[in-house]
Amino acid sequence: MSVPVSILTGGTGVLGQSVTAALLAAGGVVAIPYAVPEEARALDARLTPEQRARVLALPADVTDEPSFGAFVRTVGERHGPVDGLVNAVGGFAGGDLVSTSLAEWERVMKLNLTSAVIACRAVLPGMIAARRGRVVNIASRAVVPPQGGFIAYTVSKAAVITLTQALAQEVKSHGITVNAVLPSTMDTPANRRAMPDADRAGWVSTESVASVVAFLLSDRGSAVTGSAVTV
């Protein structure tokens, strides 16, 4: 097989950078749509010259179908067919149903769920034509079972799990796998700031999550589909 090409949304974030490192270590090409130039520059600064040649980072809006579609076409023109998709972009919001404004509800749904739908719609036609592909959606262990107190986040990430399971059934006859990875609390700078007094013994590293993502994208993960893998 030629060098695998993966699109990674949220690739400039903390988890995304770990996933990028894991995919590069496996010899792949990683295409990253970004919204924050400073984050893209920070990612670029961590890359070696050889790695930089295998990373394509371009500004694109993952919640806008025309913008993301143009990004996917550019990836295809520069690196060939897309073999893998990781939907790692997302956002969090606290609050119960009554206190959460409709605008905030829609923002969280757009970031966590609609972005994954748009990305899948953009890459699946090419995967179906090639009769192979890997899709990995990042959900959350915190929403299994569903939790209150951050209901927009809970519902959106639970919907990502349902999307994963339904989509896996739709595309399994085309040689495409679709799985979800459900991290528990990750050890990130943002979580350390938000929970300074928490016991971090049970937190997971972003590298651990990235290794599971990389496995599911690989040929070794070809027998796994429709799964919600907790980390």
Distance (Å) of CA 196 to CA 77, 155, 191, 202:
46, 26, 8, 14
Residue 111 DSSP class: I
Distance (Å) of CA 71 to CA 6, 100, 119, 126, 145:
13, 33, 10, 14, 35
What residues form DSSP beta bridges with 134? 84, 177
Alpha-carbon distance of 177 to 164, in angstroms, equals 9
109-119 residues labelled b (16+ CB within 10 A) or e (exposed): bbbbbbbbbbb
Catalytic residue among 34, 71, 150, 153: 153
Q: In the annotation, is 153 catalytic?
A: yes
Q: Give the number of other Cβ atoms within 10 Å of residue 43's Cβ.
A: 22
Alpha-carbon distance of 50 to 122, in angstroms, equals 28
Which residues are catalytically annotated?
Answer: 153
